[in-house]
Amino acid sequence: MIVHNLETENSILNQFISEIRDSTIQKDTMRFRKNIERIGEVLGYELSKTLAYTLEIVQTPLGAKEISIPEKELVLCSILRAGLPLHQGLLNYFDTAENAFISAYRDHREGTDDFDVVVNYLASPSLENKTLLLADPMLATGKTLENTIKAMKNHGEPKQIHIISVIGSREGVEYIKDVFPKNTHLWIAAIDEELSNRGYITPGLGDAGDLSFGVKL
């Protein structure tokens, strides 16, 4: 797996990451969602540099101009519900992409910190020979991404996979290296070194879904 960790270089991305981590600022749910969206735009821009391009002729009012245009066979898939703001940021840039959605949640075993990741909904076009952009804002243990790609196997074999995450754990990043093809790209805004006993990224930012849309039962 090719890991692109954008926190290794200073950019405006640092400001967005700082605000989604800040326990005071993140209480503004609209700002939290917008910051995740903006992070998606930054990651999408960096990702776009590695796509395949073809030359096209564009006719202007005064003449013709040859321009390199990125490939259009893209499928953007987000993991519900936390992935929705990130999905929107990516869709702002890849507006011609097909869209897929999958639900995944942690089913904690009673009385323990152990859990299974349950996938119970998938809506996706064919992935055959297309480029899959897989958006999951919090890459904690990596099990959600593992179960997601397993659930999508019946939809065809993508020619390339790009994973887009906001914050990940070192353990989760290492875990998915054995799950996805070696030519998979991971685009991530920050990597934290620890996981809690319950599998949450530390220091992380909390539950991205709850911070975006409210606390669930």
**Which residue carries 């949450």 as its tokens?**
200
Closest CA to 103 of 127, 128, 120: 120
Q: Give residue 80's pLDDT.
A: 86
Q: What is the pLDDT of residues 78-120, one digit of tens each?
A: 998 889 999 999 999 999 999 999 987 666 566 665 666 677 7
Q: What is the pLDDT of residues 40-70, one digit of tens each?
A: 999 999 999 999 999 999 999 999 999 999 9
Confidence check: pLDDT of 202 > 90? yes
CA angle 183, 188, 190 (to 5 degrees): 140
Write down the pTM of the prediction.
Answer: 0.91
Beta strands in the chain (DSSP E): 2-5, 53-60, 63-70, 74-80, 98-108, 115-123, 131-135, 138-139, 160-169, 185-192, 194-195, 201-202
- Residue ranges and CATH numbers for the domains of the chain are 2-213 (3.40.50.2020)
